[in-house]
Chain A
Amino acid sequence: MLLIECPWCGPRDESEFAYGGEADISRPIDPDALSDAEWADYLFMRSNRKGENREIWNHQHGCRRWFVVERDTVSYAIRATFPMDGEGRSP
């Protein structure tokens, strides 16, 4: 069981959190202006990297807030966690 640092609540058990997908994917401001291919890219295509990744997680059984996690998908190591706007507690 990992200890994950919620930027608001501090270190908590992994089981309190939910993985929410890759970070830095923003919803297109005007979806109607996109082609089907661009919309599909946004919805489905992911980088799925072996190694360092930026992700969003939710402190589901805690404050229920979303935040960013920098995590290594090989070593399990969490390098940093911070709020969605990039402000707040530094790693």
Chain B
Amino acid sequence: MALGLLKSAFPRAGAAHLPDRPSLKPSYDVVIIGAGAHGMAIAYHLARYHGIRRVAVLDRGYLGGGNTARNTAVIRSNYLTEESVRFYRESVRLFRELSNELDYNILFENRGQLTLAHSDSDLRNFRWRAEVNKELGVRSELVDLAEVQRRVPLLDCDPAAHYPVLGGLWHADGATARHDAVVWGYARAACRLGVELHPLTEVTGLEVSGGAIRAVETARGTIACDAVVQAVAGMSSEVARLADIDLPIHTYPLQALVTQPYKPVLTPLVSSPRWHVYIQQTSRGEFVIGGGCDPYPLYQTRSTLDLKEALCRGITQLFPFLAEANILRQWGGITDMTPDYSPVMGHSPVDNYFLDAGWGTWGFKATPICGVTMAELVASGQVPELIRPFALERFYTFDQVNEAGATAASH
């Protein structure tokens, strides 16, 4: 057999997707801090749709090594407020088309998501969300126990359970995708258009004068620039502090785990606010299980036995067969939590310094719409309608977008 044929049968892993790290130029039009999915999506949209290609994306670590690599990839739009539903609805729509947009398979799967009701108040709350969702064209409906059982046959629906299942919120638009592929796809497409990706380049200072951003100091030297976007998730407060910007953010770890693989038995994503746990089966067959944040702020990605026990306690109540499962991997990421469980996007008190922060435990699903809206903001200076409600100013005008109830344990 010809050697060439062998070669193409076994392509070299990770071959030539991304250029080597270039040397740092003295100036760029736009510097993006954070090479997570958000930072790369914003860079891609600047280059592809706004003709802004002198863009450097800086990361203290490696491409997509932050929460992008650590999240459990729940994609949904069944929020409670009109502002959020409109915003996440558009993101889910963009996710459906993302493989084509990037010419990169992100393994998007429209599985549907089921949130379990364990009390009458859950049912009333879900009815409310379903009505808001339907009004805005998002597919959500309240379903009874029989329908829950039909969709998730392995769920323990014993009425004598500790918290019996009464029904659920069925969200047909709920989905998942390969989280790493999303950031790799955006990065490849952005770099092909001339965007520079600079891993191992920590931002250590921000130069502000006359109320505007002038330069970014990094461990590899200082870069002059016209505009900066910070998209650093759990590090939001620390990076904003470099420009003297106060944020209403607390950094909490969020942990997750994954079991050994099983044959495919669970199609939808399932979550239980009461047990503070959620689950999905990956296309590899493993069960990904997540829940709530650590009980106090930390800048640490360590796993703790307390949290892992809580996840296992909840999930084995819902799916008793998982008591036999082995845990293969466990991890944590640091999340930037806001008081109203909505992001902080848009202008900052410093001119030409833009915020993409406060993504907490729910920001992966917003990646495509962040790319679109933040790039438009940077390019035009105008705040797109969809993200107007998420401005930092809302905390000064008391116009919070409260999604605490629709976010807990569902992400």
Taking beta carbons and an 8 Å cutoff, which residues of A are in contact with B? 1, 14-15, 18-19, 36-37, 40-41, 43-51, 53, 55, 73-74, 76
How far does the Cβ of A42 sit from chain B's closest Cβ, in whole Å? 11
Q: Do B250 and A40 touch across chains, with their CB atoms under 8 A apart?
A: no
How far does the Cβ of A44 sit from chain B's closest Cβ, in whole Å? 4
Q: Do B246 and A41 touch across chains, with their CB atoms under 8 A apart?
A: yes
Q: Which residues of A contact B297 (CB under 8 A)?
A: 19, 48, 53, 73
Q: Assuming the A-B contacts A37-B396, A44-B339, A44-B395, are A50 and B248 also in contact, with contact meaning beta carbons closer than 8 angstroms in the complex?
A: no
Q: How far is the CA of A40 from the CA of B340 in the complex (A)?
A: 14
6 interchain residue pairs of minimum CB distance: A19-B296, A44-B248, A48-B237, A45-B246, A50-B299, A40-B396
Q: How far is the CA of A49 from the CA of B246 in the complex (A)?
A: 12
Q: Do B296 and A15 touch across chains, with their CB atoms under 8 A apart?
A: no
Q: How far is the CA of A1 from the CA of B238 in the complex (A)?
A: 27
A-B contacts counted at CB < 8 A amount to 58
Q: Which residues of B contact A74 (CB under 8 A)?
A: 298-300
Given contacts A48-B251, A49-B237, A76-B300, 18 further A-B contacts (CB under 8 A): A1-B306, A14-B306, A19-B295, A19-B297, A41-B246, A43-B395, A44-B339, A45-B247, A45-B395, A46-B248, A46-B249, A46-B250, A48-B249, A48-B297, A50-B238, A73-B297, A74-B298, A74-B299
Q: Which residues of B contact A14 (CB under 8 A)?
A: 306
Q: Which residues of A contact B296 (CB under 8 A)?
A: 19, 55
B8: Cβ under 8 A from any A Cβ: no
B397: Cβ under 8 A from any A Cβ: yes
B398: Cβ under 8 A from any A Cβ: yes
Q: How far is the CA of A16 from the CA of B381 in the complex (A)?
A: 50
Q: Which residues of B contact A36 (CB under 8 A)?
A: 396-398
How far does the Cβ of B344 sit from chain A's closest Cβ, in whole Å? 11
